Amino acid sequence: MKKDELKHFRKGIKDVQRMLTVAAKRLNDGRYEAAVEFMMGEAALLQKLATELRSVIEDGERKPQ
């Protein structure tokens, strides 16, 4: 995997972590609906990131070493 691809995935994971902290704050504040919205949005972003990573992995396996 190329260095720029690694940076992309690390940044995506950090972004999700940051927003999950916000969701936890909302939950602690009793703002349950806001917490749900944050969590659902971040779950979608994380799923997209995982799909991209799977694609990169599969493309790497197809290329001759």
Stated pTM of the model: 0.78
Which range has the worst mean pLDDT, 3-7, 9-13, 17-21, 59-63? 59-63
pLDDT in tens, 13-43: 999 999 999 999 999 999 999 999 999 999 9
Domain boundaries of the chain, sorted by first residue = 3-58
User: Band of the pLDDT at 52, cuts 50, 70, 90?
Assistant: very high
Measuring CA to CA, how many Å separate 50 from each of 1, 19, 26, 58, 59? Answer: 15, 17, 25, 12, 14
